[in-house]
């Protein structure tokens, strides 16, 4: 059985377990409007990878241009 949660015709995740036992990522995926938890995981994995790359790029630039910044 499906329960409608909003007027935008999204369908809440359903299960035989009580609502608090639902998988956390599935709940977040639903709240964000993602198709399923795999989409949510992919989005966050990409964001974390982008953040790591930006941090590494900043470190390299700081090392390369540190002398110019000191003047």
* Per-residue CA distances from 9 to 44, 57, 59 (Å): 25, 43, 46
Q: Does residue 61 belong to any structural domain of this protein?
A: yes
- Domain extent at residue 57: 46-71
**How many CB atoms within 10 Å of residue 23?**
12
The CB-side HSE value for 53 (13 A sphere, CA atoms) comes to 6
Q: Does residue 20 belong to any structural domain of this protein?
A: no
Q: Does residue 71 belong to any structural domain of this protein?
A: yes
Q: Does residue 57 belong to any structural domain of this protein?
A: yes
Query: pLDDT tens digit string along 43-66?
Result: 999 999 999 999 999 999 999 998
Q: Does residue 67 belong to any structural domain of this protein?
A: yes
Q: Does residue 4 belong to any structural domain of this protein?
A: no
47 and 39 Cβ atoms separated by less than 8 Å: no
pLDDT at 6: 46
pTM: 0.56
């Amino acid at each position: 059985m499906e329960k409608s949660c909003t007027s935008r015709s999204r369908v809440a995740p359903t299960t035989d377990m009580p609502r608090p036992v639902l998988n956390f990522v599935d709940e977040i995926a639903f709240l964000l409007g993602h198709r399923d938890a795999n989409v949510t995981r992919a989005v966050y994995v990409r964001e974390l990878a982008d953040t790591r790359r930006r941090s590494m790029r900043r470190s390299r630039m700081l090392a390369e241009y540190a002398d110019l910044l000191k003047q």
